Structure 1
């Protein structure tokens, strides 16, 4: 809890610094607080360039952050969240400390110079790197380090968007992918701490200021349901185009990677010259659309333009998130749907802006398949509780649509393209398909039941198993004798040797350990091996009950590491008398 509090403080301060960097670079490179709402205005410091300066702004930004990312932290390229998911699932929560600084600078430069990306990916990676660094400095166990990574992600989201609940559920649903009670408390504490710090500096207002919306007719729920399906499909289309453009950029670029953002900035600059509303995040444009200030055709143009602009920004090596662009796309698709519905059903459709607001959450849910996060995010970003029911309906349908149309989300697809399957790692194991026969050692030497204990002690001392099977004079399997049992019998006090119950031969100490059959699944045999008070267990053939092998902890560990050890097999020699001196 103390460490969660520390990480929350750091994430809150990091979010404030990150917001300041974005505002500074945006004003420096565009001359405006948000150029997406400035039309084709020239840069105040270079009026002689006219609106053409937007062609150069992405180039300048790319030439600055391209070498920075290539030299110090290549994982800072792209939208960031998949890298954090991979670190939590496969690297014990280890993230390089320099990622926080490099990601903050690179993303702020990218957005400030016109990159059409969002803040959530960078702040998640920044906060997560901070949590990982705290865990690494204090050398805490991996499970706690993963939790601190999630605490950092939650704190960053909470402080940046003034959305403490959204930060919690984003971290639990997308980063940890788990809702364990012990994790929930730490993540909540970090999110609340970061949010308090953020509100103290950035204010305590909803991130988006929109007019109130209401559902005025029951038939509107049917329209919102259709919108959920449409917006979910838009989210999947955005995912597909994003990675298609990235593949195209990989195929086309043949120069050094550090130069790629600068060269690709020319393409992005040309798009910004034609459609300046794509500059940066574009929240003012989103608000204008929901308030009904754009015609249907222009809404569709903004929808297509945002998909291309964001995909191009990421494809050329830019740094920024895809959460805000997915909200933008949902707002455009939802508002366009609302305009169409109002034209067809003017007496039923209701306010156009309500469809834009619901579309925001539905598009994100379709792309990320995180319905809980989508509902909470939309409520906290807009403060619109009055349409929570149609919002939940549309988001659930958008999530189902996304699942039907695509196996992966916008975050997991990036990892799958690298050969990493997060869901498969959670559901499969090297033990899932193996049988005991595939990993067992050969049968060890067998002791005769009539062998004196002193002779058996010598053989057990030379055996690597610490226990050996025992057979009767007729060759029947009696059980197993352990080195510890023989040693304890040989060290009995002298008076006890006169008692009839004192063990004198190996058969007197033979015991039936929980045996496993050769064709049994290895995963099930693990339970017997762990419960047994022995170094290994005999493997019996089903039906005959004869020992055919030996299962040890070492053989199982070898399977878990992907290499089943053959191991030296002791000769299956049957001792029927005293061992030779």
Structure 2
């Protein structure tokens, strides 16, 4: 009895020591603070991005000759963003998701810090806002992933935490969850797109980060659904030809976007090797001019994220039949331009436009067709079908359309795999990894 009593006393003392130990609580407090920071910064980033688009719309929408301002403003803005990214924030170009994926494969802190750092947080946010203020067809969701991962990596340094790969995963998931107010999509995105080789021990880390970031975001902006609430659903069997068409055609269009992005990006990288800065600026200026010309011809409909157009289509307002083609072109130009900016929101806008056109052809409900087109096209671009249907489900609040969304996403994914076997984000991540390896070899030879 005495031995048991002593053993129990020893266990209580050890438990008390663990609970009160600063070494135990410091990493947790720093992690929680990092997750809250992701939610707060994401909410502020969203507000600034919306304001930037309003400023641009106010400048070009004043009537008369103001409608032609983008022909000068947009190329100049693209070149400014590309120069700032090249000179002060290397590694900030593009979406930000490939950089976070690449950082998970790097073991050296200095190499990882080239993609994920506090400096990158501010650079990514500022340059994305400048791009939106110039009319670029980009989104803030991919950049929020890089921002979230950067904050978590910094928290790991301050808190003395290990498991950097798991923390990058958690920061990325929290970024998506806070950007769209879609916690489930953040978790699925971490498993399907970021992780690929997901480890069960990161479950608690990812869930904790998503919950805390979501609470911080909700405290600032409240509860909302990104595209409002839709009540459209696909009736069986009448609407299922539309489901199949949106899945297959949307997936094929998404694969075309993904394949074109990879091919053009690789050629640009080879072409600018000899004169990196000057040719980077040439590419950015030409891409900005394409965005400006298409935007002027479309009366400004293709500038920015495309959120308003996508939401209008979901609410039942048909988009022009060729809107999705124009938005596809400007989104491709913005993606390959070398300026920071994501493609989540523009891709959803292209998908909504494609679905709207197919809905008019099939004589179906435009709102339903827009949602299905978003699922098929987005799944084709990122080749992540679970992320596609979960994120659209949460953004529209429509739980009656789950099976149709799943079917459109899976058809889009399957079609895209036949056309473009390489997933876009992971293929781009390999380019960043190649740069890191090349830089390491140069440094080793110099030393």
TM range, normalised to the smaller chain?
A: 0.7 to 0.9
Q: Give secondary structure in 2 for the equivalent of 1:411.
A: helix
Provide the residue aligned with 1:113 in structure 2: 134
Match of 1:316?
Answer: 337
Matched, 1:80 2:112: no
- Alignment map for 1:322-337 (pairs within 5 Å): 322-337=343-358
Structure 2 Cα separation of the partners of residues 169 and 29 of structure 1 = 34
Decide whether the 8 Å contact of 2:85 with 2:340 is kept in 1: no
In structure 2, relative to structure 1, the CA distance for the partners of 1:185 and 1:251 (3 Å cut) is closer
The residue matched to 2:354 in structure 1 has which SS?
A: helix
Aligned mates of 1:158, 1:278 — CA distance in 2: 26
Tell me by how many angstroms 1:190 deviates.
Answer: 0.9
Tell me which of 127, 135, 138 is aligned to 2:148: 127
- Residue aligning to 2:223: 204
| CA apart distance, 1:354 | 1.0
Asked if the contact 2:383/2:416 (under 8 Å) is kept, the reply is yes
Distance 1:107 1:205 in 2: 23
User: How many angstroms does 1:82 deviate by?
Assistant: 0.8
CA separation in 2, counterparts of 1:267 and 1:217? 42
Please state how far the C-alpha of 1:170 moved relative to its aligned partner. 1.2
* In 2: Cα distance, 1:134 partner to 1:246 partner: 33
Measured against aligned partners, the alpha-carbon deviations of 1:214-268 in whole angstroms (never above 9, x if no partner) come to: 2333242343133212211111011122234445656777662674435643332
Q: Report the Cα distance in structure 1 between the residues aligned to 2:212 and 2:432, rounded to whole angstroms.
A: 36
- Of 393, 401, 413, 1:399 maps to 413
1:396 Cα deviation after fit: 1.4
Task: Describe how 1:556-571 pairs up with structure 2 within 5 A.
Answer: none
| TM-superposition CA deviations, 1:36-75 (whole Å, max 9, x none) | xxxx722xxxx67421122233234335433321222211
Contact 2:230-2:397 within 8 A present in 1 as well: no
Contact 2:95 2:142 in 1 (8 A): yes
User: How has the CA–CA distance of structure 1 residues 292 and 252 changed in structure 2, closer, same or farther, with 3 Å as cutoff?
Assistant: farther
The 2-side partners of 1:92 and 1:249 are apart by 28
TM-score by length of 1: 0.64
Question: Which of 3, 24, 32 is matched with 1:5 structurally?
Answer: 32
1:177 to 182, 191, 196: 196
Gapped runs of 5+ residues in structure 2? 1-27, 435-447
Partners of 2:173 and 2:433 in 1: CA distance: 27
Note if contact 1:265-1:316 (Cα within 8 Å) is conserved in structure 2. Answer: yes
Say what the alpha-carbon RMSD is for the aligned residues.
2.6
What is the rounded CA distance, in whole Å, between the counterparts of 1:309 and 1:242 in structure 2? Answer: 12
Q: CA deviation at 1:13?
A: 1.5
Match of 2:46 in 1: 19
2:383 is the alignment partner of 1:366: no
- Greater Cα shift, 172-181 or 67-76: 172-181
In 2, the alpha carbon distance for the partners of 1:29 and 1:340 equals 34
1:223 aligns with 2:246: no
Partner of 2:290: 267
Q: In the aligned structure 1, how far is the partner of 2:76 from the partner of 2:101?
A: 31
CA contact (8 A) 2:291 2:303 kept: no
Matches for 1:455-494 after TM superposition, within 5 Å? none
Cα distance in 1, alignment partners of residues 344 and 258 from structure 2: 11
Kept in 2, the 8 Å contact 1:214–1:354? The answer is yes
Task: Return the structure number with greater strand share.
Answer: 1
| Greater relative contact order, per chain length (Cα 8 Å cut-off, separation 6+) | 2
Task: State the aligned residue count.
Answer: 398
Any stretches of 5+ residues in structure 1 without a counterpart? 33-39, 343-349, 421-581
Counterpart CA distance in 2 for 1:417 and 1:68 is 21
The verdict on how the C-alpha distance between 1:97 and 1:289 changes in structure 2, with shifts beyond 3 A counting, is same
After TM superposition, the score normalised by the length of structure 2 is: 0.82
Q: Whose radius of gyration is greater, 1 or 2?
A: 1
Aligned to 1:513: none
| Alignment-derived partner of residue 278 in structure 2 | 256
Distance 2:268 2:293 in 1: 16
2:73 aligned residue (57, 80, 89): 57
Structure 1 pair 199–56 and aligned structure 2 pair: CA distance change class (3 A): farther
Change (3 A) 1:29 1:398: closer
Partner of 1:284: 308
Tell me the SS of whatever aligns to 1:79.
coil
